[in-house]
Amino acid sequence: MREWRYWLNEQRGTLTGLAIFLVMFAVYVANHPAGFTANVVHTAANKGVLLAFVAMAQALVVITAGIDLSVGMVLVLTNCLASWIVVGGAMPTSLGVAAVLATGMLCGTINGLLVIYGRLQPIVATIATGAVYFGLALLLRPFPGGSVNEDLADALTGRLFGVVPSSLVALAAVVLLVWLPFRRSVAGRAAYAAGSSEPAAFMSGVPIRRGKFAAYLLGGLLAGMGGLFLTFFTYTGEAAYASGSAYTLWSIAAVVLGGVSLYGGRGSAVGAIFGAFAARTTGDMLFAFDVDPLWQPLLQGIVLMVAVSLGSLALLRVRNRLDWFQ
């Protein structure tokens, strides 16, 4: 086998996510009345970026064979916080941004502590912390409102050189500055190793706890970034329960579409980004096809159902029935 084949094999999940997205996006653009214009791309990018941040956060945790059901609520909480403190001149704004991101990390830290050191099951632990985060959000914003530094918001949600959506640039920067270093670090490898086979990782002397903890922490950070961007898009903060749960749900869907294995150890946050864009495009595509908007949620649900069922095809290869139970 040649070198590129191995590369292909390594990136299979991510590339599947990319392919799904590209096909959907091509169909969408081809059927869009306006065609492939900067405007269409811009709108699609801004819609997708929010979910992309949350999906990356979810991917980090899922890679360790965990799950974070509080990720949407962290987004909501940081959104509400940002609508208070990311205001004013350059200095207060940057301090505010830092504080919002630190809050995201703190949420991730709490999840990580409970799961790794508290030895709680990730599902219930993060459902419970999600309730707490949502409560705090509600405390901050009992009613929708607030504001944000509009210059910064417009800069990050507008277009660079009139063509490139700056939200995409920001997303790319986060991939370069957060995801790639994590993936290349010892902690990142430990996260993968622990997710793939914890006993083998232990035997090999891998720092399992450090790896998992880093994943939860960065997951919180990325969800916080999502919250920040949500504020930039809407100029307000809102503690909306339904929106938080929807983000959590679609982050899991995006992760699955982006080729990240829910059993851990496989996939990448980049794949999750493609998965997020693909999930977002499903809705847009139906719009372009003139499907009644009413049908959108149902068709999205069916796409999701089919996508997760495809993963079970590997079962047909199981020859020892006891392997079902591992």
Scan residues 238-297 and list those touching other proteins (CB under 8 A): 239, 241-242, 245, 249, 252-253, 256, 261-263, 265-266, 292, 294-297
Of the candidate spans 25-33, 151-159, 221-229, 311-319, the one that interacts with other proteins by CB under 8 A turns out to be 311-319
Nearer residue to other proteins within complex by CB, 10 or 151: 10
State the residue for tokens 């990319």: 18
Binders of other proteins among 26-55, rule CB under 8 A? none
Q: Figure out which of the listed residues 109, 147, 197, 236 binds other proteins, where binding follows CB under 8 A.
A: 197
Four-CA torsion 100, 103, 104, 106, nearest 10 degrees: 160
The string of DSSP codes covering 236-296 is SB---HHHHHHHHHHHHHHHHHTT--TTSS---HHHHHHHHHHHHHHHHHHHHTT--GGGH
Residue span 100-119 as binding mask against other proteins, x where in contact by CB under 8 A, dash where not: --------------x---xx
Identify which of residues 146 and 195 has a Cβ nearer to other proteins in the complex.
195
**What does the per-residue mask of binding to other proteins show for 118-157, with x meaning CB under 8 A?**
xxxx-xxx-xxxxxxxxxxxxx--x---------------
- Range 199-228, binding other proteins (CB under 8 A): 200-206
Piece of 19-27, 31-39, 158-166, 186-194 that binds other proteins (CB under 8 A): 186-194
The DSSP line for 100-165 is HHHHHHHHHHHHHIIIIIS---HHHHHHHHHHHHHHHHHHH-SSSB----HHHHHHHHSEETTTEE
d(CA 295, CA 35): 23
Q: In this structure, which amino acid lies at residue 266?
A: R
Shortest gap between Cβ of 208 and other proteins (angstroms)?
Answer: 9
Of the candidate spans 35-43, 85-93, 223-231, 300-308, the one that interacts with other proteins by CB under 8 A turns out to be: 300-308
Q: How many residues bind other proteins (CB under 8 A)?
A: 84
User: Rule CB under 8 A: is residue 172 a binding residue for other proteins?
Assistant: no
Smallest separation (angstroms) from other proteins to the CB of 94: 25
Beta bridge partners of 160: 164
Is residue 179 within 8 Å of 270, Cβ to Cβ? yes
Stretch that binds other proteins, among 16-24, 164-172, 184-192, 212-220 (CB under 8 A): 184-192
Smaller CB separation from other proteins, 195 or 219:
195
In 3D space, the residue among 297, 80, 66 whose CA is nearest the CA of residue 198 turns out to be 66
Q: What tokens appear for 222 in the block? A: 């990325």
CB nearer other proteins, residue 165 or residue 258: 258
Rounded to a whole number of angstroms, the minimum distance from the CB of residue 108 to other proteins is: 16
Measured from the CB atom, the residue of 73 and 171 that comes closer to other proteins is 73
Q: CA 200, CA 198: separation in Å to the nearest integer?
A: 5
Min dist. Cβ of residue 55 to other proteins (A): 14
261-280 in b/e burial notation, b at 16+ Cβ within 10 A?
beebbbbbbbbbbbbbbbbb
Cβ 306 to other proteins, closest distance in Å? 9
CB of 5 to other proteins, least distance (A): 9
91 lies in the binding site for other proteins (CB under 8 A): no
Residue partners of 266: CB distance under 8 A and separation at least 6: 13, 63, 195, 196, 259, 260
CA contacts within 13 A on the Cβ side of 291: 16
